[in-house]
Amino acid sequence: METLELKKDKVYLGLKQDILCGRLPSGGKLPRETDLARELGVGRITLRASLDRLENDGFIRRIHGKGTFVYPDGATTDAATIMVIHGGGSGFELPWHYIVPEITRCATEKQLKAFITTDTAINMFSESDIQTFVKSNHILGIAAVTNNFNGHEPFLKKIKSAGVPAVITHAWINDAIVTGLPCISVSEKDGWEAAISYLAGLGHRRIAVIGNPDNNFRHCSRQENKQLLEKYHASPDDSLIRTAKFDRADIIETVKAFFANQTHRPTAILCYSDFYAIYVYDALKELNLRIPEDVAVMGICGYPDARMLNPPLSTIDFGYAKFAEMAVEMLQEPGKWIDPVTGKGKLRLKPFKLIKRQSTEPQ
């Protein structure tokens, strides 16, 4: 027997698909709840839970005294719309949380709409469904806020078949080659080097670095990281080069390991991201070490709220807002970003910015 949870998920997905493929057209009115529940073969409690979720996700709108209407978020019949697709997930460290709202803002400034969905949702629908939705909702183009493609993703095939320009936003450097689509990227590897150069320029010779197990040190291998440290006259000591999962306990344990040897303690810590730095602050507090008097801390990525840390965090800012501005601009002038010889999309690199705050330079 199906649980209520499973039933309401099925109803939600079924109605959502009907909306996205145009079987329930934008602006159309849904039947009364009693009639719709009977039509779908479910109870009113199940239907109401599904409708609540559709309303929260922007697919329907309930108007008191008038009824329930199909209203995909931003999908109207009289305005060009950018479809924004992100990779999903709820972790606050995921870049799409900060890029997607900026795309919506930029679209609004240019009198465009934004329809927001996930790659998981796109994978539920057929190419024909997506093409129908794109045509009936005046989709100008697709901004996919995701990266690290292998070229065989079903999601990739579906957005290519949609019949409108697409831009991979916040791409990895190789994604333009792999996908054949225009991509916006930032050289994370150069950003990592800039951070090491900055810390070394402040006189730090024992710089501890914390990488991510999947991406190492912003696309630098352990050996490349050692070479960078040597290039800027910092110690390439293996004990100061570690990786950690994005997990508070794991990061705190990693930081404590840096200070286990009292005679070879680091004077600065470079974190894989600003989000890692949040937990590095916690670890240093437990060790009764002051920032930056005892140890400087630096992040990478440009998390907007990193300035709220005490002291505010220095970082290499990749510029989430700029990713959004460039994506909207490229979708409005798609021809500029296709190579006329190969027909493949171009890679557009955006600059990063060094943000100096009190975590490395007391004021």
| pLDDT over 90 at 178, yes or no | yes
Per-residue pLDDT band for 5 (boundaries 50, 70, 90) equals low
> pLDDT tens, 256-310?
999 998 778 999 999 999 999 999 999 999 999 999 999 999 999 999 999 999 9
Average pLDDT rounded to a whole number, residues 151-156: 92
pLDDT value, residue 21: 58
| pLDDT over 90 at 137, yes or no | no
Read off the pTM: 0.76
3-state secondary structure string across 296-361: EEEEEECCHHHHHCCCCCEEEECCHHHHHHHHHHHHHCHHHHECCCCCCECEEECCCEEECCCCCC
Tokens of 325: 């501005």
pLDDT value, residue 76: 42
pLDDT value, residue 72: 57
CATH: 3.40.50.261, 3.40.50.2000, 1.10.10.10, 3.40.50.1380. Which one for 4-70? 1.10.10.10
pLDDT value, residue 80: 86
Written out in words, the top-level CATH class of the domain with range 188-317 is alpha beta
List residues bridging with 348 in a β-sheet.
Answer: 184
User: How far, in Å, CA of 8 to CA of 233, rounded?
Assistant: 60
Average pLDDT rounded to a whole number, residues 219-244: 95
Nearest to 174 by CA among 197, 147, 195: 147
Are the CB atoms for 146 and 168 separated by under 8 Å? Answer: yes
pLDDT value, residue 303: 93
Per-residue pLDDT band for 328 (boundaries 50, 70, 90) equals very high
User: How far, in Å, CA of 67 to CA of 46, rounded?
Assistant: 18
Topology of domain 81-186+322-332, CATH: Rossmann fold (3.40.50)
Per-residue pLDDT band for 79 (boundaries 50, 70, 90) equals low
Q: For the chain, what are the domain ranges?
A: 4-70, 81-186+322-332, 188-317
Q: Is 125 helix (H, G, I), strand (E, B) or coil?
A: coil
Intrachain domains 81-186+322-332 and 188-317 with the same fold? yes
Per-residue pLDDT band for 75 (boundaries 50, 70, 90) equals very low
Neighbours of 124 (CB within 10 A): 12
User: How far, in Å, CA of 232 to CA of 226, rounded?
Assistant: 10
Average pLDDT rounded to a whole number, residues 38-50: 90
Residue 194, CB half-sphere, CA atoms under 13 Å: how many?
20
DSSP state of 31: P
Average pLDDT rounded to a whole number, residues 145-172: 93
Sign of CA dihedral 282, 288, 293, 295: negative
4-20 and 44-56 helices cross at what angle (nearest 10)?
50
